[in-house]
Each structure stands twice: as structure tokens, then as C-alpha cells.
Amino acid sequence: LPGLLARIARQGINMPLQLGVTQDGRDAARHAVIMSQGGLVMPDREYYLSDDSKFKAYREAYLKHVEKMLAMSGQFDAAQAASSAAAILALETRIAKIQWNKVDNRDPVKTYNKLALDKLAALLPGFDWPQYFGATGMQGKMDYVLVRQPDFLSNLQAVLESTPLATWQAYCKWHVLNAYAPFLSKRFVDQDFAFSSVVLRGIPGQQPRWKRGVARVEEAMGEALGQLYVEKHFSPANKARMQALVDNMLLAYKDSISNLAWMSPDTKKAALEKLSKFRAKIAY
């Protein structure tokens, strides 16, 4: 199961454990692997947990949507699709219960938890971490991870152990199907849009296929297209001009901070030290 979850997540599909690579929040010169909670299809945990009638309606619509999509896949008969949809919703609800809320997730201090790889076993014992990182392709490439929600890992243990393997299999099939629905035949595209866009977001109509195609290219090729744009339209002289502009802005900030009447000397010193660490990254 750890290897399966990792392989699916590596395809960009939402699994309970999500990995990404970004700047270390306390060392901007380094990149770090960040581990976050995940595993839900609906936008937020409240969609699964709230007693509000609006969210109850979302859950009812989601259950019917999952059942219909599973049946359309050809891997489930009608009875299996219905029972699997109910089991998937129950599993996602359990995952939602142990997730952090939006307020906690916005706390940069609370969500910065630097752990050596061998410490992960203390949070989630019994989970085959070498198999997991081996399947992600990251094994041996880092010595620590930044865990955003450590309590989620600790509480995931009970969910992993008490959920039947057949439910995890149906859950994984559903998440793969859900992620790729926009690329499948028209009936999958239409059903996915009917729930994800019409029901959840109130979007009444689908964009033309060509516009969706262009959007996908932009999503996948943004950096490469940006590189071509810079080569053609952003010369070294333009970069030097922008660098001078930023340097002048930094001098203006320094002058402003130094002359603030309401700021104490110690606070000014800390602010100027922070300003001195600013690194401008312009185009290339």
C-alpha cells in the first residue's frame, strides 16, 4: 500500500500523503521535500464534516457522482459501484476528520516541522517508509522532510490499519479515475463537469474543447514557454534596468525604515537586517 500510494501521488493525483519540493521556509537557499495532508476529492474537510444543509447536499451529490463514475468505468457492476462509493465516502470522511483546518494550515510556524527521515517512523509506525520513498523516486536524495501536519500522520495510522484493503483499492481506482476524467471520453468529461464545476462551483457551462486544450498546455509548459519569451523579449539590458529599479527600491526602504519615528531602535535593526537578506531574482 505505501508503494501504491506513492506511485499514484507521483502522477499528481491527490493521495493522503502529498509530497512536493519547494524552498525551505527557514533557509531560502535550500530546497526541501514537504509532506502535507491530502486524500480528499471535495475542496475542503468541511464538505465532509459540516452539518450545514448545503454541505449535506454536496455529500449526497458526491455519493451519486462517485457511484455513477465507478459504474461507467466498467470495473464495477451496479451493486459494487454503490457499495464502493459508500465505502469511499466513509474513508474520505475519516481522513477529513484528522486533517488540520484552514486556520492551522496558514500558520507558518506550526506547519514547519523539520524531521530526519528516521524520525518519520515515530509518527507513523508500521508504514514502510523506504518502500514509499523508493516509489516516489526520492529515496537517497534528501536527509530530512518538512512535515506540515505531524498530527495528521500520527492519526493516519488507525485509518490505514482499520480500513479493509478492498476499500483502499476502490479508493485508489476512484482517485485515478477522478483525476483523469477530463481527458477521457465525452460522457466522463460531462459527468465530471456536472459535479465538479456545476454542483461544487456553480459554473453553468463547459469551455470549448480548444480552450481547455490551450489551458492544459499552459499548465504543463509554463516554465518552458516563459524561457522562450525571455529569450525573445527580455534582453540583458532590460534585466539590468529592472535590477537598478529594485536596488533603488531597497535603498528607499532602508531610508524609510531608518527614519520611522514609531519604530524602536531594536526593531529598526531587525527590519534592516531582514531587508539586507533580500535577493532579487529577475527573469533568469
Helices (H) and strands (E) in the chain, counts: 14, 4
pLDDT of 284: 67
Angle value at C-alpha 29, between 26 and 31, nearest 5 degrees: 80
Q: What mean pLDDT, rounded, does the chain reach? A: 94
Predicted TM-score (pTM) of this structure: 0.81
What confidence tens digit (pLDDT) does each residue in 69-111 have? 999 999 999 999 999 999 999 999 999 999 999 999 999 999 9
Instruction: With residue 24 as reference, give the H or E element that holds it.
Output: strand 17-24
